[in-house]
């Protein structure tokens, strides 16, 4: 199970998956060429949400749900740093998908 971590450094925000740099997937959508951010609802958090979901769930689900993930999860991350597991992301998407089935 993958573990994602975001930390602030002197050089900016660093996001890793199992200790390696997370690919933010600018190839899918380029919201923030300057990189990841979190703790609010802007373009940096959108890029982070896309990268996290693409890594944890695949491109199709990421593209459909990253803006919601940004609003519900990434915008609420603590400014100093955070840790999130792939299991937590899968739990979130399961709730989203089950709520959409009821519509």
CA distance 54 to 20: 15
Q: What is the pLDDT of residues 17-40, one digit of tens each?
A: 999 999 999 999 998 888 999 999
Element (H, E) at 82: strand 81-85
Report the distance separating Cα 81 and Cα 93, nearest Å.
22
pTM recorded for the entire structure: 0.95
**What is the model's pLDDT at position 103?**
59
Task: Give the rounded percent of residues in the chain with a pLDDT score beyond 70.
Answer: 98
């Amino acid at each position: 199970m993958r573990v994602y971590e975001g930390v602030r450094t002197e050089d900016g925000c660093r996001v890793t998956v199992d200790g390696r740099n997370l690919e933010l997937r600018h190839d899918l959508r380029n919201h923030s060429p300057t990189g990841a951010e979190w703790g609010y609802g802007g373009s940096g958090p959108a890029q982070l949400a896309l990268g996290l979901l693409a890594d944890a769930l695949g491109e199709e689900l990421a593209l459909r749900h990253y803006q919601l993930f940004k609003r519900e999860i990434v915008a609420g991350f603590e400014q100093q740093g955070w840790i999130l597991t792939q299991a937590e992301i899968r739990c979130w998407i399961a709730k989203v998908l089950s709520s959409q089935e009821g519509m």
